[in-house]
Structure 1
Amino acid sequence: MAKKSLIQREKKRQKLEQKYHLIRQSLKNKIRSKVSPLSLSEKTKMREKLQSLPRNSAPTRLHRRCFLTGRPRANYRDFGLSGHVLREMVYECLLPGATRSSW
């Protein structure tokens, strides 16, 4: 089980990312736009606005965690679970459609 403070930090990052998503996207689109050529000073102002946003609002800072344990590593996107939890659930036949291999 992950520390509760780390899980709460991740939830805070998710909220910040959702809050600033549209602002960040519009600033990036304005910088990249080829239709209206911006002068160099205008582009630097846009970049400064982009950099002034909170760091934790960047989507690259988000990290997937296991739904049950909060473990940050070895997560399967399809199930939202870490590897060892997934394996235990498959052995107990709790996941429909997933079968354990035997040879």
Structure 2
Amino acid sequence: MAKRCMINREIKRAKLVEKYAAKRAELKKQMLDMSLPAEQREAAATKFHALPRNSSPVRMRNRCELTGRPHGYYRKFGLSRNKLREHAMKGDIPGLVMASW
């Protein structure tokens, strides 16, 4: 089980990403628009860099839904490899069959 503070940090980051998504997109659009004057693009860049670092979606980390484990994460299931294996053995995941030969 991951530390509770790490899981809470990821939740906080997700909220910040959602809150600033529109503002970040607008400022990025202004920064890359070459039809605008250089001063206006520079002002947009300054505002963009003033946004919180954790509002960037790149800083988010995928974590297991059950344990919060950051490594060995399967996007398709939202679980880490350990919990995916446990649930597959129990038959809790429809359509998933463990390989045997």
Q: Report the TM range for the smaller structure's normalisation.
A: over 0.9
Deviation at 1:33, TM superposition (A): 2.6
Aligned to 1:3: 3
Aligned to 1:31: 31
Q: Deviations over 1:40-61 (max 9, x none)?
A: 2211111000000000101000
RMSD: 0.9
Aligned partner (choices 72, 75, 83) of residue 74 of structure 1: 72
Which runs of 5 or more residues in structure 1 are unaligned?
Answer: none
Work out the number of aligned pairs and report it: 101
**Kindly, what percent of the aligned residue pairs are identical?**
44
Whole-angstrom CA distance in 1 between matches of 2:30 and 2:72? 37
Aligned to 2:82: 84
Whole-angstrom CA distance in 2 between matches of 1:72 and 1:20? 24
Aligned to 1:57: 55
Which runs of 5 or more residues in structure 2 are unaligned?
Answer: none
Task: Provide TM-score, normalisation by structure 2.
Answer: 0.96
User: Structure 1 counterpart of 2:38, which letter?
Assistant: L
Aligned to 2:19: 19
Task: Provide TM-score, normalisation by structure 1.
Answer: 0.94
